[in-house]
Chain A
Amino acid sequence: MIFLKLILTNLRRHRIRSFISVAGISFSVAAMLTVVTILQGAIGMFSGILSSDSEIIVFERNVSDLFFSNVPTAAVEEIAKWSMVSHADPVLFGIVSSANHPIITCFGVTSTDARIRKATWIAGDRFAYSQHADDVVLGERAAEFLGAKLNDHVPIGHGVFHVIGILKTANGFEDGGVFMPLSSAQSFFHKEGTSSVITIKLRDKGDATLLKSMVKTKFANLIALEDVEFTRSYSQFRILKATAWAVGGCGLLMGGLGVANTMIMSVFTRIREIAILRVNGFSHLQIAAMIFGESAVVSLLGAGVGLMTGICLLFVLKLVPALHGYVDVTIQPLVMLIVIMLALLTGIAGALYPAVYAMRVRAVEALRFE
């Protein structure tokens, strides 16, 4: 109890300094949580597009980005015939632009694709999809920012398209995207005879290994991965995740420097007290534990406040119409645990030098310190 009071004493004594340190850590934690959660949400959404009513994704081997992947239509047709395949849907990804909107994701899909079949159609008839080459279906958010209604003609890229439907999905990418008949998309993006990926639903999930093996044998330049494998191995996702953690890590590093500064000041201002504790039998380890304890309290307080701030921020971001579907407020316990541990580690790292300094305080000299 007294040891805890000794830890808390200095934090109470210099409230503003303690507050600034806690704020530094909490801002870092909030930033890390927000960035990581948003990016993981984005990755989850992109994975969701690929795994919509499917378990396997087939794409061109060794491409850095699925937008550059080319899967021949012949491969789609052959794989669709395999006995273990329930259905195989080709999807062509493209980036288009319109006035004031430089980037709109475009999905070239067939009328039987789950993205068309299972979406909630706000306007239009899904059975009209793919009747004409210049028909498009807009996601709800795309319709909003393009200011388009059913039967409008909207300029997209170098063409003008007829809006035959507006659909709503839970996925931000899809909601902000444009759906074109596959053949129209192939023509529009000059990718005749190819798609970016094939998403495959199996009759029996246990056949996944067999299908992967068959793809490898039959199509040397293609690769088949289960959704989980793809999410784990896709380089773009890895880069995004690494970036998120790096950005958060930089924030925590700043927070850690704040803690280090606070702890150094703390040790300098209580050097006489440290000497008194030494004279009264405190060991080096007990002195260090006191300093580390102080930084741990700052870090954990900062982590707690930061987590709450981050969660509130994510909820607010979720309410922003422009970000609808992009922000997933589902915070994974593992992410929270990692963030807390990183904050704690940062605090401890920040207290390393001050603790060593405090351990080296010579009582006889420090007692003369005014």
Chain B
Amino acid sequence: MNLSTTPASGSAHIVLRAVDVWKSYDDGAIEVLKGVNFEAIEGQTVALCGPSGCGKSTLLHLFGGLDASDRGHVSVNGIEVNRYRNLLQLLRHEVGFVFQLHNLIPDLTLAENCLIPTVAAGIDRHVALARLQQLADRTGLTHRLGQCIQKLSGGERQRTALCRALMNKPKILLADEPTGSLDEHTSGTIFELLLDIVATEGVTLVIATHDRVLAARCDRLLEMHDGRTYEPVHA
């Protein structure tokens, strides 16, 4: 039974929708997604849980337009993502990504890494710097803005990645195991910060994670196995 099409609130605005999405690799030899249906409403936090290789990351990549589905449709705010111009618009203004590895550019400073999305989108530098200051204050990185990435701790790097993902005020934050490479304490702190910021900013969060304790703190928790998403049935 595929229950994941049921959003948390019936009348709320659906920002992310997947309809009968299929994805396979090696010319169909490895089927990862087998007709996933998914909806997330504005401001909702959704956790995707499941074993490694079950398709969590693949689904996030499809949501963010980084990959194309074999069949089915993915739309953000009602716009199909797999068309070029929409894809750029999507990556610049609609979605932000946080990965397990922070994926920062080591030769740039913390501030410069965060400003990359604003450079891509051609956002005015003063506006970008004001936004950076705001996010740095929220994430406690203000005093580290001029530091090179190599000098930051793992937690600081992940907070930097979070700032970068939110720079252009995306409507959706896609987080792929964002705490997977951190220790338990730092992991909890980052997750707390993540939930706090998305709540303040009104961002829809879709997070792929192994950590069920953290996942349970999201509005919705979806299980992924056998290429589909399921709402867990509680006793």
Tally of chain A residues near chain B (CB < 8 A): 22
Bound Cα distance from A367 to B102, whole angstroms:
11
Measured CB to CB, the closest approach of chain B to A272, in angstroms, equals 8
Question: Which B88-146 residues have a C-beta within 8 angstroms of A?
Answer: 88, 91-92, 97, 99, 103-105, 107-108, 112, 115-117, 119-121
Measured CB to CB, the closest approach of chain A to B59, in angstroms, equals 12
Is A367 a contact of B120 with CB atoms below 8 Å?
no
What 1/0 mask marks residues of chain A from 269 to 312 whose CB sits below 8 Å from any chain B CB?
00011001111111100100000000000000000000000000
Please, which residues of chain B bring their CB within 8 A of the CB of A283? 88, 120
Is A276 a contact of B67 with CB atoms below 8 Å?
no
A364 within 8 A of B: yes
B210 within 8 A of A: no
Bound Cα distance from A24 to B111, whole angstroms:
36
Residue of B92, B104, B107 touching A13 (CB-CB under 8 A): B107
A3 within 8 A of B: yes
Is B107 a contact of A367 with CB atoms below 8 Å?
no
Is A364 a contact of B120 with CB atoms below 8 Å?
no
* Nearest B-chain residue to A10, judged by Cβ: B107
Please, which residues of chain B bring their CB within 8 A of the CB of A3? 119
A363 within 8 A of B: yes
Bound Cα distance from A278 to B92, whole angstroms:
10
Is B66 a contact of A363 with CB atoms below 8 Å?
yes
Is A276 a contact of B119 with CB atoms below 8 Å?
no
Is B91 a contact of A364 with CB atoms below 8 Å?
no
Interface centre among B61, B88, B116, B121 (most CB of A within 10 A): B116
B164 within 8 A of A: yes
Bound Cα distance from A272 to B119, whole angstroms:
18
Tally of chain B residues near chain A (CB < 8 A): 23
Is B67 a contact of A364 with CB atoms below 8 Å?
yes
A101 within 8 A of B: no
A81 within 8 A of B: no
* Nearest A-chain residue to B93, judged by Cβ: A281
Is A277 a contact of B120 with CB atoms below 8 Å?
yes
Bound Cα distance from A12 to B121, whole angstroms:
26
B44 within 8 A of A: no
Is A367 a contact of B116 with CB atoms below 8 Å?
no
Is B66 a contact of A280 with CB atoms below 8 Å?
no
Please, which residues of chain A bring their CB within 8 A of the CB of B64? 279
Measured CB to CB, the closest approach of chain B to A2, in angstroms, equals 5
Is A273 a contact of B105 with CB atoms below 8 Å?
yes
Is A12 a contact of B103 with CB atoms below 8 Å?
no
Is B120 a contact of A9 with CB atoms below 8 Å?
no
Residue of B67, B112, B117 touching A280 (CB-CB under 8 A): B117
Given the known interface contacts A2-B108, A273-B105, A363-B66, the answer about A281 and B115 at a Cβ–Cβ threshold of 8 Å is no
A203 within 8 A of B: no
* Nearest B-chain residue to A13, judged by Cβ: B107
Question: Which A1-59 residues have a C-beta within 8 angstroms of B?
Answer: 2-3, 5-6, 9, 12-13
Bound Cα distance from A367 to B99, whole angstroms:
10
Please, which residues of chain B bring their CB within 8 A of the CB of A367? 66, 99, 103
Please, which residues of chain A bring their CB within 8 A of the CB of B92? 281
Is A280 a contact of B108 with CB atoms below 8 Å?
no
Measured CB to CB, the closest approach of chain B to A16, in angstroms, equals 17
* Nearest A-chain residue to B60, judged by Cβ: A364
Is B115 a contact of A279 with CB atoms below 8 Å?
no
Is B112 a contact of A5 with CB atoms below 8 Å?
yes
Please, which residues of chain A bring their CB within 8 A of the CB of B45? none
Is A276 a contact of B66 with CB atoms below 8 Å?
no
B160 within 8 A of A: no
Bound Cα distance from A286 to B92, whole angstroms:
13
Is A281 a contact of B103 with CB atoms below 8 Å?
no
Residue of A6, A12, A281 touching B117 (CB-CB under 8 A): A281
Question: Which B159-184 residues have a C-beta within 8 angstroms of A?
Answer: 164, 168
Bound Cα distance from A3 to B120, whole angstroms:
9
Given the known interface contacts A9-B108, A273-B105, the answer about A2 and B99 at a Cβ–Cβ threshold of 8 Å is no
Is A279 a contact of B119 with CB atoms below 8 Å?
no
Is A281 a contact of B120 with CB atoms below 8 Å?
yes
Would you list the 10 A-B pairs with minimal beta carbon distance, nearest first?
A: A281-B120, A281-B92, A364-B66, A281-B91, A9-B107, A280-B117, A364-B67, A282-B120, A280-B116, A276-B103
In the assembled complex, 14 residue pairs joining A and B whose CB atoms fall closer than 8 Å, in A order, are A5-B112, A9-B105, A272-B103, A279-B64, A279-B66, A280-B91, A280-B97, A280-B117, A280-B120, A281-B88, A282-B120, A283-B88, A364-B67, A367-B66
